[in-house]
C-alpha cells in the first residue's frame, strides 16, 4: 500500500493563533513541533497498517514547517516553497489513498478555526464548477482526478463536517472545536495524536470507506477576490477572464492546471496584498 499524507497547519492539535502559523511569530516553533507530531501519528498508523511507502507533503505556507529532524524516518518528506502542485505535490496515480492532516474549513464557515481558502484574506470565495470550494474540496478533487480516494481527514470540527458533507462517511478526527475563528476548545495534543493514530488505523484497515471525489471536466474555477487590483492583475494571465470587478474565471480539462494556477494566483495576490497593506 502506498499512502500520501498532506499536512496543513491551521487544523493541527492545540493551535488557534495566527502567530503560531507564521515564521517568526510567537509560538511558531512549537507549532511546527505539534504539526510534526500530528503528522507522525498518521505516518506511524499507516506503516502499522501495512503501508510500504508513505510520502508526506508540507502543505502550509512556504512548505518549511514540518521538522525534517523529527519526522518519522520511514517516510519521505516533500518540502519547500513554490511547489507546482502545492498541497498536492508528490501525489500521482500510483498512490492507493490520500490522508489529510491539519486541515481547516473554507473561508466564511461559522466556528471554523482559522478558516480561509488558499490564502489568509485575499480570497473571499472560490467556486469549482459552480460549487463553493475550500481546500478540502480542491485537494479531494485533485486526488480524484488522479483516481486516488481520500481515506482520512483530521482538523477542527468544522473541517471534519465539511469533509463528510463532501465525501460522505469518510473517517475524520476533530482535534478541536471552534468557538470563533481564533478560539477553540482543544484536545491536548498528546491525546489528539492518539486519536489521529487510531483514526488512520481504522481508515486504512477499511478501504471500503475511502471516498473518491469524481468531478466532471471541464473544470471551471471562479475566484471572488477581496481586491479589484488582484482581480485585474490575475485576469492578465492567459486563459483567465474577468467575470466582475473582483472576480476571475478559468476553465480547463486538466485539473492539475487548476491547482497550478492557484499557486500562481497566490504569488500575485500575496505581492499585491502586501504592497497595498490596509487596502490589499
Active site residues: 116
Q: How far is CA 251 from the centre of its chain?
A: 22
C-alpha cell at 147: 483516481
Walk across the sheet containing 183-186 and list its strands: 76-78, 53-58, 2-7, 97-103, 150-156, 171-180, 183-186
Helix axes 255-276, 135-145, angle to 10 degrees: 150
| Cβ contacts of 236 within 8 Å, gap of 6 or more | none
Residue with cell 497595498: 276
What's the length of the chain?
280
First and final C-alpha spacing in the chain:
45
Amino acid at each position: 500500500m502506498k499512502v500520501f499524507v498532506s499536512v496543513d497547519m491551521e487544523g493541527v492539535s492545540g493551535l488557534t493563533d495566527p502567530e503560531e502559523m507564521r515564521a517568526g511569530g510567537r509560538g511558531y516553533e512549537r507549532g511546527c513541533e505539534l504539526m510534526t507530531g500530528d503528522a507522525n501519528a498518521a505516518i506511524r498508523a499507516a506503516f502499522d497498517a501495512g503501508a510500504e511507502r508513505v510520502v508526506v507533503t508540507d502543505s502550509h505556507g512556504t512548505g518549511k514547517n514540518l521538522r525534517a529532524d523529527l519526522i518519522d524516518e520511514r517516510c519521505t518528506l516533500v518540502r519547500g516553497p513554490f511547489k507546482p502542485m502545492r498541497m498536492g505535490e508528490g501525489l500521482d496515480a500510483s498512490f492507493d489513498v490520500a490522508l489529510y492532516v491539519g486541515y481547516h474549513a473554507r473561508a466564511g464557515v461559522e466556528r471554523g478555526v482559522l478558516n480561509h481558502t488558499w490564502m489568509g484574506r485575499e480570497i473571499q470565495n472560490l467556486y469549482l464548477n459552480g460549487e463553493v470550494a475550500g481546500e478540502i474540496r480542491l485537494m479531494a478533487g485533485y486526488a480524484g482526478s488522479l483516481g486516488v480516494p481520500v481515506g482520512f481527514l483530521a482538523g477542527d470540527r468544522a473541517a471534519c463536517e465539511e469533509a463528510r458533507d463532501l465525501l460522505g462517511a469518510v473517517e475524520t478526527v476533530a482535534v478541536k472545536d471552534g468557538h470563533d475563528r481564533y478560539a477553540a476548545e482543544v484536545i491536548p495534543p498528546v491525546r489528539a495524536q492518539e486519536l489521529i493514530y487510531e483514526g488512520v488505523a481504522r481508515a486504512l484497515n477499511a478501504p471500503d470507506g475511502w471516498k473518491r471525489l469524481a468531478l466532471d471536466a471541464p473544470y471551471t474555477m471562479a475566484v471572488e477576490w477581496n481586491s479589484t487590483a488582484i482581480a485585474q492583475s490575475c485576469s492578465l494571465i492567459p486563459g483567465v477572464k474577468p467575470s466582475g470587478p473582483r472576480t476571475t474565471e478559468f476553465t480547463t480539462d486538466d485539473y492539475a492546471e487548476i491547482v497550478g494556477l492557484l499557486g500562481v494566483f497566490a504569488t500575485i495576490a500575496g505581492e499585491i496584498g502586501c504592497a497595498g497593506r490596509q487596502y490589499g
